[in-house]
Each structure stands twice: as C-alpha cells, then as structure tokens.
Amino acid sequence: MRTIGFACSSAEEDLAPFHFDRRNPRSNDVVMEILYCGVCHSDLHWARNDWGQTCYPTIPGHEIVGRVIEAGPDVTRHKVGDIVAVGCMVDSCQTCDQCRRGEEQYCREGMNGTYGGFDVVEKTPNMGGYSKHLVVRQEFALKMPEGLDISKAAPLLCAGVTTWSPLRTWQAGPGKRVAVIGLGGLGQMAVKLAVALGAEVTVISRSDRKKQEALALGADQLLASSNEKAMQDAANGFDLIIDTVPVKHDITPYLPLLDIDGTIAMVGQIGPLPESSSLPLVYGRRRIAGSLIGGIRETQELLDFCARKNILPDTKTIAIQDINKAFDELEKGASYYRFVIDMSTLKED
C-alpha cells in the first residue's frame, strides 16, 4: 500500500516527507493507521548512523500506537477499530527456545526490528513509525488496555519496557534498593516503575540540579555523583542500578555503590565502554549486565500494569514537521520528557 512518512536519506540530512510502499498484508497481518509515535534516542542514533548499520533512506520510530483498519482472514487477536501498539519488533522466528519462552528480543534467528530490519518474506526494508500506516504480524501488535491515555502511552513500547524488563528480571520490589543513573526518557520511566513496584528508589545524577524533578517522579532521594563524600557514604547501598545514560561513559564510580551480589544493568548505551577495574566486581561478587527491551508477553504485562497503576511517561506532543527540532533537543539532552508525535499532522497529499 502507498503511504507517507518522514525519512532521512543520509546521516547528514534532516528528516523530510517521503512516499513509499508498505508491503502487501498477509493473512495473519493487521494494517494500522498510526495515531501516535514516540521519539526514542535510538531513532536519533539510527538516523545519524551512529552504529554504522543504517541503510538509507530510513524511517525511524518504534513506539507506535494506532488503530486497526484492516485485519487478515487468519487474524484472531484483533479486529478493525481496535487500538493496538507496536514496539521495537515486528517479527521473529517464533520457533526457537527464546521465542517459545516469550523473549522474542533474543530470538536465535535475530529479532526483526520495526525499522532497520527486513521483511522475512519479501526481503524489503522495514520502515518505522514516523509514518501514516504500518503492516504488522498480529502477534506483534499489542492490545492497548482501557484507561491508558493513548496520546501519552507510546513511549511505554520502548522506554517503558526497556526499564521494566531489568526491574522484573532482578526482582525490584519491596525491600529492594534501586538506583537509576540519568533522568532522561528512560530514566523517568525507570523511576516511576521502580516506585510503583515498591522499591526504595534513588536517582543518580551529576549534580543536585534535578533533585526536585526526581522527587516529583517518586524517588526517595537524589545522589550527586560529583559529590565524592556522598558517593563514599552510599557504598554498598544498592541491589540494582539501572544505567540509562545513552552515550559512552565511565561506569567505574558506580560499581562500589552495589551491595554484594548487586547488578548494574546497562540499558542506555550500546557500544564500547571505557576501561574499568574488575576489583569492585571481584570483591563484591557484583556484576555488569545488559538488557534489551522486552518480549511481547513482558511488554503486554507492562501496558496492563501501567493501566492499573495509572503510570504514563512525561511527554511533549509535537507535530511531525518539528521532528528535526526534537532531534536537536534530544542530542543536547536538554529535557527529561519524551517527545510524542501526533501523526494526524502528517498529511498524505
């Protein structure tokens, strides 16, 4: 089907209107009219080819909320008119051990990304959610629970589940001490979710400048990493640290903050880390771990949890025509809220 999105043609170019063809829907597909799409830091990395893997032209966007406008004859999970959501994946092999256990993000064949991947049948490049329509396999379209404001919920599909997954994996809850490094789009979700799970929550930031924001999100306190005495006093103080910083940074100062058997989970940066000492790891049986988004079942669990607890990201709604300005602000790290594109501002003519 012919549709329109905002694409970039090189790492140096702004995103601009781009007409293209979505693949023909198959019997188990739904066709969505995209209503809202979140703006993720990964979108910026992909557009700028920061990871050296981008194929142009490309349309970013993997925090998608939309309305089903067509359902194939074999579709049983959704019907025309349903409000559904799509995150970072649109397909996986569905047969390997990881897919069978509901962790499609670790599919042995490789998960099929909402953008950056290729359709498994037609081998055409996947284009993301900065567009008017999406065609997706029914298993990867999530049900939007009643009670969630769909104009704000899109970032839950990436920022939300990216922080929810490690919180669940390392059993954040009552009696657990959780720290969150960084208070950007990922950080704010990590704080809100950890608080809702009942953990004691600390935000770690370079200074006290964001203390009021951290407390407003529900954190118990803020720890300034530039304050050497405060950092020393916090030694062995956390069971889990969620590191949401999206750029290369030194994690060495944070390792002594972990208690014995504590874990620092990297969810922000993808790429090389500066050299770090193994001393605090060995002497505290501490670990550095990574975590990649979440599976479909886990993402649905998150959406349902957020509906029950009335948890939504702090967002700023923008028109698609302002996406390049949003990218500039995102690159500067100037705000902690999450941009959400109102896709009704994208006209098909």
Over the stretch 158-198, which tens digit does the pLDDT of each residue have? 999 999 999 999 999 999 999 999 988 899 999 999 999 99
Identify the helix (H) or strand (E) that includes residue 158.
none
Q: What is the mean pLDDT of the chain?
A: 95
CATH number given to 2-158+314-345: 3.90.180.10
Overall average pLDDT of the 290-297 stretch: 96
pLDDT, residue 275, reads 84
pLDDT, residue 45, reads 92
pLDDT per residue over 244-261, tens digit each? 998 889 999 999 999 999
**What's the fold here for domain 160-290?**
Rossmann fold (3.40.50)
pLDDT, residue 247, reads 85
Confidence of residue 61 (pLDDT cuts 50, 70, 90): very high
**Residue 115 is encoded by which pair of tokens?**
């953008």
pLDDT, residue 274, reads 84
- Range list of H helices, 118-175: 159-169
Of 139, 135, 156, the residue nearest 147 (C-alpha): 156
pLDDT per residue over 28-37, tens digit each? 999 999 999 9
How much of the chain is in helix, strand and coil states, percent to nearest 5? 30, 25, 45
pLDDT, residue 334, reads 61
Overall average pLDDT of the 63-80 stretch: 97
Q: Please, which residues have CB within 8 angstroms of residue 68's CB and are 6 or more apart in sequence?
A: 30, 31, 32, 78, 79, 80, 81, 82, 83, 84, 141
pLDDT, residue 331, reads 87
pLDDT, residue 277, reads 84
**How far from chain centre, in Å, is Cα 96?**
24
Percent of the chain with pLDDT over 70: 99
> Does residue 130 contact residue 37 with C-beta atoms inside 8 Å?
yes
pLDDT, residue 335, reads 67
Supply the angle between the helices 159-169 and 296-309 in degrees, to the nearest 10: 100
For residue 191, how many C-alpha atoms fall within 13 Å in the half-sphere facing its CB? 28
Q: Do domains 2-158+314-345 and 160-290 have the same CATH topology?
A: no
Give, in order, the Cα–Cα distances in Å from 273 to each of 56, 72, 284: 28, 45, 21
Tally Cβ neighbours within 10 Å of residue 90: 26
pLDDT per residue over 336-347, tens digit each? 689 999 999 998
Given a cut of 70, is residue 16 above it in pLDDT? yes
pLDDT, residue 332, reads 84
| Domain chopping of the chain, boundaries | 2-158+314-345, 160-290
**Local structure of 293: helix, strand or coil:** coil
Highest mean pLDDT among 269-273, 305-309, 344-348: 305-309
Beta partners for residue 222, in sequence order: 203
Of 308, 338, 337, 299, the residue nearest 162 (C-alpha): 299
Given a cut of 70, is residue 349 above it in pLDDT? no
**Residue 180 is encoded by which pair of tokens?**
């969150």
Residue type, 119: D
To the nearest 10°, the Cα dihedral for 148, 149, 150, 154? -80
pLDDT, residue 245, reads 92
Rounded distance, CA 245 to CA 179, Å? Answer: 13
**Local structure of 116: helix, strand or coil:** coil
Given a cut of 80, is residue 55 above it in pLDDT? yes
Pairing of strands 200-205, 177-181: parallel
Q: Please, which residues have CB within 8 angstroms of residue 349's CB and are 6 or more apart in sequence?
A: none
